[in-house]
Structure 1
Amino acid sequence: MQKFGRWAYPGLLSMLVISLNISLASGAESTDGEKELTIGLAEQSQCIDPQQDNYGYAAIEGRGLVDSLTDQNYENPSKITPWLAQSWEINTDATRYTFHIRKDVTFSDGSKLDARVIKANFDKISTIPGAAGASYFKGVKAITAIDDYTLQIDFNQPNVPFLAATSTGELGIVAPATLAKSPEERCHTGVIGSGPFVLDSVKLNEKTELVKRKGYNWPSSQRKHSGEAYLDRVIYRIIPESTVRTGALRSHQVNIIESTGYEDAEPLVKEGFPLEKIESLGTSVNLLINTSRGILADEKVRQAFSKAINRKEVVDLAFSGFKIPATGVLTRKTPGYLDQSAQLVFDPAAADKLLDEAGWTKGPDGIRVKDGKPLRITVSFYAAPINQAFLEVVQQQVRDVGFDLRLRPLTGGAYDEALLAGDYDLHRWEWSLGDPDVLRQLYSTKALNRFRLHPDNDIDGPLDAQRATTDPAARKKLTDQVQKIILDRAYAVPVFSTQELWSNDGTVRDLEWGGPGAGSTSQILYDVTLAKAAR
């Protein structure tokens, strides 16, 4: 699914939640002495099941509900550490993973975690249509509970990146009682997990409340303390309007806000409200090209389109400089990132030359024509103001070299249907994963094939090979090769990298960030404590 920040279906958003009936004494402690953290979110995911959701729930609200086999470090994503699995072995060709499970873990309903429950989770994920974590099990041969606390996963082919996948919220483990429910029930009623927090209540598009899990004592080895979470309650309030979120933060009605407004970010910092800029891991925000049809089947036209984009100007005009101009197919924090800045320079003269060579001549209105047809292409995207804003900048830039770029905002099922059917010329897309295998998942013809390439293409070979290569240096050569081909052939047009803006009221201590999920960087609240708000 496409993600920019945390897009939920617009029909689910209520613009009336701005009444802000928020009661939070000093932004830290409720009247009965509970330690409460309140977070203002821009929107809410449609499915409150971390395993299924593609729009960020597993990384934000749902991350505290479920634990994963492993944990991934945000600052050093190549660092994978124990969590529910206290240790593991991987065979020499990465076709077999053996996890040794902790023996002291229970779910919040009292049921016990063991290898059979994890097997049941992974078996179930693979059968749920559209589940965010299902793609990680492509090519699985067998999932076996060797004994109560030993899980073995065998793949038909080497699968080096699977270990990183086990750290995601999308592969967070839920209780047998949750597995017994239908996917639809889980989306609407939530899940029972083994995490440090428990889902207390949900009022769709208004508020979600989590409470501390009593007796929790099996955190990831990356956390700073053991035992129960310090917070008693976490309240997520849905506040769609950026200015209203800012007002709630200034008045200490909320402790943290996501998607800080660009115009508010620096003033808030000057007022003493800390700002965190959380860079995404995975792909840059790319305009993916359907190479199988129309004008963009011509490589020179694709290359010209990319050279006509001034990425810094896009970031400055559409995002007030708070995004990062793309410097490669992957974001710069992603393992395996290749700096491709030289191929992404703004060069309208080169774009003009390529279009001339391809036989496109400028008409009286500035739009190029060939054989009587205009140089007209369409970009499909999930309908949201922030997407519209940056694409309007791109639209004006490429017009200067003769492209007539049409914008095609889509909502709900129409968006997903167009993507799955390949019904697009260009498509705005990004995907989060802290491993270069994100390239294979999105672009291989054996996976999602977002470029709509033929099977005899030039990237499937190295993508398959990197998944099977255990030597880091050899694997880096293969993923570098793929990234170079993607830009040389202009299969995709990277524009910018996402940088999530989170402001807090100065009371929040030890907020941490984890590895990426399907829609956002994981927000870790387990170690958080709250100080008194300055008045």
Structure 2
Amino acid sequence: MKRTKRVLGLALAAVMCVGLLAGCGGNPSSSDTADDASGAETSEKVLNIATIGETTTLSPLYMIADNRPTQKLLYEGLVKYVDGEIQPVLAEDWELSEDGTQLTFYLRQGVTFHDGEPFNAEAAIANIESWHINPSFASLPGVVNYTNIEAVDEYTIRLTYDTPYFAYINDFCWPDVCTMISPKLITQGDFQTVNGYAGTGPYIYDEYVAGQYTTFVRNENYWGEQPYYDKIVAKYIPDNASRVQALQTGEIDLIYGSAELSYEDYNQAIAIDGIEGKFAPSGSTVRNIILNFNGNLSDLSVRQALAYAIDKEAISEGLTYGYEPVADTIVPDGTPYSDICGTIDYTYNVDRANQILDEAGWAMNESTGIREKDGTPLHVVFTCPTDDSTIGSIATLIQSQLAEVGIEVEIKSMEKMEWYASYMEPTGWDITAMTAGFFNYAMPQCWFSAMMAQMPEDVSIPLLDNSDEFISALSEFKTCNDDTRLRELFELLINTDLDQVLDVPLTHQMDMIVYNTDKIADYNFASDYAFLDVTQITPAE
């Protein structure tokens, strides 16, 4: 077996239903208390950042978008994805056997967790075994499909699989869930209890003040290059306008990410003297709505009409100021299968939408403006989580667009935990908003792996015109290493998904940063654009 690092090139992005539980609420931050905590009057180098959720769920098991600005402070994985390549972190090297059934990680030596526990093969195995038995990891074959895991020596682990798979190593790139925590904090089989926060990252969890802030201090025993800042203060500011105001007054130094900034917020911020902004070089995710073939949406004609009636350009230009390009596929730009866009062109066409509904027997009730068929109004429920500053506006715009063709949309905005619970109910929703194409190293395999994992309860897949062929392709790609056959399988899966309107991709979601130039000179979007990496900040001189 020749030992060579396996770099899988431009990896593929997807969605994963891992750890979508919300943090607790609270009051807006108190600037006096937070400034005292930040050490503003000392010689410490302090960076103040904003969070839209309280940092009460910082375990990787429950990491949510609200806390992405703090994720990389505490935790690291075995590998990471950077500019189209998989690179080492806590694993210095790795090797996939010639037959694709054994994955070996060679671990970095001299690393300790924040609580003093050593990072070694035993610790890595404890983490991976905890993921392996957690149902939330069902869409990651690299984690859940191994049949044996062993310590070859103190700093080498080996996973054995029954079948090959082209993306085993990709599954270990997730920066929010596939990261290492101290084995002291792991209770095998307990997926609910968070026992504390201790990773191997450049900062250590220090102090939490409910409703105000959390502080992180520099890890003086960090194995890598020491970070610039002595302390990071994450200030809880849930209101959009208040975050921008805090940036203007200097209470915070930056706001990061599409979850924390609407495009209106971005434009307002960069108009302030001394504030600059920057976008990631490309979108690593796709903003998307998912259709459940439930009730009225079991009718393909309704789904097709809905797809024609959504004006994506209006969403791009009207809600994102043109910053988010229109998306025609669920796969982010630049990934190997991003050219697969379905065989049906669902370009905005109100006349075509009306024609389809007329031919399907959905007649317009002129008194209500809502179509009906056999006495049933054409009504659908659109559920959306409240953790993204743009989703609510998109739902409202789609509601008005679909009303033009006689489709009544009821919007239900929910806290993340409530929304997630409704999503997991087979008939608990009609349309929902979700970011597809989560990260370039995971698409489209994790998107379709998640479908496979949920298939026994899935309302939609059995109603596809080619459901047997679709289900067969879902199974086959997870045991395939042949590039030609993989493309055939993903063409079938993506074309079916888009043509029969399982999903309606809207725009390529962009991540961004705005910052005070008296503290920050620049930021480098090096990898995992959705996550702030403070090591990529260039401090102002």
- Using the size of structure 1 for normalisation, the TM-score is 0.85
CA shift, 1:277, in A, is 2.4
Q: Distance in 1 between matches of 2:178 and 2:433?
A: 26
Could you say if the C-alpha distance between residues 99 and 323 of structure 1 is closer, same or farther in structure 2, counting changes exceeding 3 Å? same
- AA in 1 matched with 2:233: I
The equivalent position to 2:284 in structure 1, one of 281, 301, 315, is 281
Say whether the 8 Å CA contact 2:16–2:447 is kept in structure 1. Answer: no
Given that 1:52 and 1:131 are in contact with CA atoms closer than 8 Å, whether structure 2 keeps it comes out as no
2:448 pairs, out of 440, 450, 453, with 440
Question: Map of 1:144-223 to 2, 5 A cutoff?
Answer: 144-169=150-175, 170-180=177-187, 184-186=192-194, 190-218=196-224
Cα shift at 1:326: 2.3
Q: For residue 432 of structure 2, what is the aligned residue in structure 1?
A: 427
For this pair of structures, how many residues does the alignment match? 509
In 2, the alpha carbon distance for the partners of 1:93 and 1:449 equals: 34
Matches within 5 A, 1:104-503: 104-128=110-134, 130=136, 137-169=143-175, 170-180=177-187, 184-186=192-194, 190-218=196-224, 227-258=225-256, 259-270=260-271, 271-278=273-280, 280-282=283-285, 284-291=286-293, 293-338=294-339, 340=341, 343-364=345-366, 365-383=368-386, 386-411=390-415, 413-422=417-426, 423-431=428-436, 432-434=438-440, 435-436=442-443, 437-444=445-452, 452-454=460-462, 456-472=467-483, 474-503=485-514
Give the 3-state SS of the residue equivalent to 1:346 in structure 2. coil
Q: Tell me, which stretches of 5 or more residues in structure 2 are unaligned? A: 1-13
Q: CA deviation at 1:310?
A: 0.2
CA contact (8 A) 1:2 1:382 kept: no
How far, CA to CA, are the matches of 2:20 and 2:321 in structure 1?
20
- Maintained 8 Å contact 1:108/1:213: yes
Q: Note if contact 2:31-2:251 (Cα within 8 Å) is conserved in structure 1.
A: no
Q: Which blocks of at least 5 consecutive residues in structure 1 are unaligned?
A: 219-226
- Taking the aligned partners of 2:513 and 2:364, their CA distance within structure 1 comes to 45
Q: CA deviation at 1:334?
A: 4.5
Once structures 1 and 2 are overlaid, which stretch shifts more, 170-179 or 505-514?
505-514
C-alpha distance in structure 2 between counterparts of 1:56 and 1:135, whole Å? 27
Q: Secondary structure at the match of 2:110?
A: coil
Distance in 2 separating the partners of 1:322 and 1:200: 37
Cα deviations by residue, 1:35-61 (Å, 9 ceiling, x for unpaired)? 11111222235411023324454x431
Query: Which residue of the other structure, out of 47, 51, 68, is the alignment partner of 1:41?
Result: 51
Kept in 1, the 8 Å contact 2:332–2:508? The answer is yes
Q: Which of 84, 89, 95 is the aligned partner of 1:83?
A: 89
Partners of 2:107 and 2:121 within 8 A in 1: yes
- Stretch deviating more after TM superposition (116-125 or 413-422): 413-422
Question: Residues 455 and 461 of structure 2 are in contact (CA less than 8 Å); yes or no, is this contact kept in structure 1?
Answer: no
Q: CA deviation at 1:459?
A: 2.7
Report how far residue 16 of structure 1 moved: 3.2
Percent identity reads 20
Distance (Å, rounded) in 2 between the aligned partners of 1:316 and 1:24:
42
- Assess, with a 3 A threshold, how the Cα gap between structure 1 residues 501 and 297 changes in structure 2: closer, same or farther: same
1:474-503 Cα deviation digits (max 9, x unpaired):
434432332221111111122233223320
Corresponding position of 1:13: 25
Q: Please state how far the C-alpha of 1:353 moved relative to its aligned partner.
A: 1.8
In structure 2, C-alpha distance between the alignment counterparts of 1:409 and 1:52, rounded to whole Å:
21
Instruction: Give the CA deviation at 1:394.
Output: 0.6
Deviation track 1:206-258 (CA, whole Å, cap 9, x = no partner) reads 2111111113234xxxxxxxx32222111111112222221222222211113
Q: Match for 1:462: what amino acid?
A: A
Q: 1:267, 1:412 → 2: CA distance?
A: 27
Partner SS, residue 461 of structure 2: coil
The residue matched to 1:343 in structure 2 has which SS?
Answer: coil
**Deviation at 1:464?**
3.3
Distance 1:86 1:280 in 2: 28
Structure 1 residues 472, 213: closer, same or farther in 2, change over 3 A? farther
Contact 1:52-1:130 at 8 Å conserved across structures? no
Residues 113 and 383 (structure 1 numbering): CA distance in 2 closer, same or farther, change over 3 Å?
Answer: closer
Contact 1:69 1:167 in 2 (8 A): yes
Q: Distance in 2 between matches of 1:257 and 1:333?
A: 27
- Contact kept, 8 Å, 1:230 with 1:527, in 2: the verdict is no
Deviations 1:86-122 (A, max 9, x none): 1111124533211111222222233221112101111
SS at match of 2:115: coil
Secondary structure of 2:345's aligned partner: helix
Distance across 1 between alignment mates of 2:493 and 2:253: 43
CA contact (8 A) 1:50 1:63 kept: no
Task: Give the drift of 1:82.
Answer: 1.3
Shifted more, 100-109 versus 312-321: the winner is: 312-321
Matches of 1:281 and 1:442, distance apart in 2: 19
Of the structure 1 ranges 174-183 and 206-215, higher mean CA displacement relative to structure 2 is found in 174-183
Question: Per-residue deviation at 1:72?
Answer: 0.5
Question: Deviation digits for residues 115-144 of structure 1, max 9, x if unmatched?
Answer: 121011111123346479977523221221
How far does the alpha carbon of each residue in 1:511-533 deviate from its partner, in whole angstroms, 9 at most, with x for none? 444554xxx7222122434225x
Deviation at 1:264, TM superposition (A): 4.0
